[in-house]
Amino acid sequence: MIELSLDNSVRSLLKRGIAQLREADIPSFTLAAELLLLHVLGRNRTWLYAHPEEIIADADAQRFFELMARRAAGEPTQHLTGKQEFWGLEFEVTPDVLIPRPETEHVIEVALDRLALRELRAGRPQKSTGAGLQITDIGTGSGCIAIALAKELPAANFLATDISPAALAVAQRNAQRHAVADRIHFVECNLLALPVGAQHAAPQLGAIPNNARPAFHESRITSHQSRSFDLIASNPPYIGGREAPSLPREVRDHEPHSALFGGEEGYELYADLITQCVQHLKPGGILVLELGHNSLPAVQPLLDATTWTNVGVTNDLAGIPRVLAAERV
Ligand SMILES: C[S@@+](CC[C@H](N)C(=O)[O-])C[C@H]1O[C@@H](n2cnc3c(N)ncnc32)[C@H](O)[C@@H]1O
């Protein structure tokens, strides 16, 4: 039982929460305490700062300090609130999926820029609805890449794969939350190796309930077996096993290892991923890959000049080469 002080005002709770997280050496301790208090109270930040004297019910104060204790013990804030914002959209997150990171928004930016350039070259308006486009997100996790692109391209169709059925269940719920589930077909498979028989019937949907199966016509499934995609995006696991000891405990102890680690070096999955993309992208199709902080020297040479053109690298806000993009010849 956590002992509550007589002063249960918003200001006092926040002050004590911040002190507790600072003491536990939690990064961004002020923000974490604020977010968790807002979560408990079901309020927004404006309210929080407009009502510093408001007295909080004992039960809410108790709940807040329970969350403080869990955060101080290393659980990520997003696992405690169950959500994370990405591309201006709120995503459900659970311990089964990677928490969407701000740097992954560069994948969305590059994908949209490349598609706009393609439209421009074809003499069409740059801002496209995505009509007729087939887009894939490999290793979809929470679904953040596929869903953000689906919101931007309201007429495009998507295939989103993951090796984890538990992650696909979260992604499916996020797609429903953002009203794009009818355009994203979630498939449990290794990278883009679609299940046997996928060319004749709807692919297995892992943990996805039957009543939530998105409409994806058989002819489209068939065409997955050939060069049918206009754009493939992926943020694969890219941390090296050797880096595990230096990861923050929030990440190492709480996020799924299948989402984090790509092998001992980290970049091992990219070779298979790029080989599969060679087989599945249309001529002129676009590949957009997120990179680990040291992946570029190992990954860029995999894009040989006979198969790929217009290779480009985009740095993140920290100046790290974060996104590699190219077009299939
Ligand atoms: C780094 S997370 C990215 C999740 C999400 N796309 C994002 O950007 O936040 C990598 C995802 O790839 C999935 N994954 C790992 N190995 C895979 C494989 N061989 N085939 C398909 N998905 C895989 C993991 O389960 C995880 O959801």
pLDDT higher at 131 or 209: 131
Say yes or no: 191 and 43 in one domain.
Answer: no
CA pair distance 194, 280, nearest whole angstrom: 11
Tell me: the pLDDT tens digits for 63-95?
A: 999 999 999 999 999 999 999 999 999 999 999
Q: With cut-offs at 50, 70 and 90, classify the pLDDT of residue 125.
A: confident
- The sign one gets for the Cα dihedral 204, 207, 210, 216 is negative
CA pair distance 116, 127, nearest whole angstrom: 6
Ligand 1 centroid from CA 221, angstroms: 21
pLDDT beyond 70 at 302: yes
Copy the structure tokens of residue 211: 């009543």
For the ranges 39-48, 68-77, 211-220, 300-309, the lowest mean pLDDT is seen at 211-220
Say yes or no: 55 and 140 in one domain.
Answer: no
- The overall average pLDDT reported for the chain is 90
Q: What's the pLDDT score for residue 279? A: 95
Closest alpha carbon to 186 in 206, 200, 201, 166? 206
- The sign one gets for the Cα dihedral 273, 274, 279, 280 is positive
Q: Which residues pair with 99 in a beta bridge?
A: none
Considering the domain boundaries, does residue 91 fall inside one? no
Say yes or no: 152 and 42 in one domain.
Answer: no
For the ranges 98-107, 121-130, 262-271, 293-302, the lowest mean pLDDT is seen at 121-130
pLDDT beyond 80 at 221: no
Considering the domain boundaries, does residue 87 fall inside one? no
Q: What's the pLDDT score for residue 196? A: 64
Amino acid at 135: I
Ligand 1 centroid from CA 229, angstroms: 19
Ligand 1 centroid from CA 139, angstroms: 3
Considering the domain boundaries, does residue 80 fall inside one? no
Chain position carrying tokens 């995999």: 302
Considering the domain boundaries, does residue 4 fall inside one? no
Write out residues with Cβ below 6 Å of ligand 1.
Answer: 98, 100, 104, 139-142, 144-145, 161-164, 167, 190-191, 235-237, 258-259
Say yes or no: 41 and 117 in one domain.
Answer: no
The neighbour count for residue 125, using CB atoms within 10 Å, is 9
CATH of residue 34? 1.10.8.10
- Number of domains composing the chain: 2
Cα angle value 256/99/61 (rounded, 5°): 105
Say yes or no: 225 and 130 in one domain.
Answer: yes
CATH of residue 292? 3.40.50.150
Q: Which atom of ligand 1 is nearest to the CA of 142?
A: 5
Copy the structure tokens of residue 3: 């002992």
Cβ-based burial of 66 (10 A; exposed 0-12, middle 13-18, buried ≥19): middle
Domain boundary among 53, 73, 93: 73
CA pair distance 289, 291, nearest whole angstrom: 6
Instruction: Please tell me whether the overall predicted TM-score, pTM, comes out greater than 0.85 for this model.
Output: yes
Q: What's the pLDDT score for residue 223? A: 43
Considering the domain boundaries, does residue 97 fall inside one? no
Ligand 1 centroid from CA 137, angstroms: 9
CA pair distance 105, 145, nearest whole angstrom: 8
Ligand 1 centroid from CA 44, angstroms: 32
Q: With cut-offs at 50, 70 and 90, classify the pLDDT of residue 127.
A: confident
Name the residue range of residue 60's domain.
10-73
Question: 221 Cβ partners below 8 Å, 6+ apart?
Answer: 185, 198, 199, 200, 201, 202, 203
Nearest CA to ligand 1 atom 14: 139
* DSSP H/E element including 231: strand 229-234
Ligand 1 centroid from CA 242, angstroms: 19
Considering the domain boundaries, does residue 1 fall inside one? no
Say yes or no: 31 and 110 in one domain.
Answer: no
Q: What's the pLDDT score for residue 25? A: 96
pLDDT higher at 199 or 142: 142
Q: With cut-offs at 50, 70 and 90, classify the pLDDT of residue 216.
A: very low
Q: What's the pLDDT score for residue 231? A: 98
Q: With cut-offs at 50, 70 and 90, classify the pLDDT of residue 252.
A: very high
Instruction: Please state whether 88 falls in left (phi above 0), alpha (psi between -120 and 50) or beta.
Output: left
For the ranges 90-104, 117-131, 197-211, 229-243, the lowest mean pLDDT is seen at 197-211
Helix ranges restricted to H, 182-236: 218-223
Tell me: the pLDDT tens digits for 150-205?
A: 999 999 999 999 999 999 999 999 999 999 999 999 999 999 998 765 422 233 33
Determine contact, residues 265/298, Cβ cutoff 8 Å.
yes
Nearest CA to ligand 1 atom 4: 141
Helix ranges restricted to H, 122-177: 144-152, 165-177
pLDDT beyond 90 at 215: no
Q: Is 60 helix (H, G, I), strand (E, B) or coil?
A: helix
Nearest CA to ligand 1 atom 13: 139
Considering the domain boundaries, does residue 307 fall inside one? yes
- The beta strands (E) that lie in 35-162 are given as 83-86, 89-92, 134-138, 157-162
Q: Is 64 helix (H, G, I), strand (E, B) or coil?
A: helix
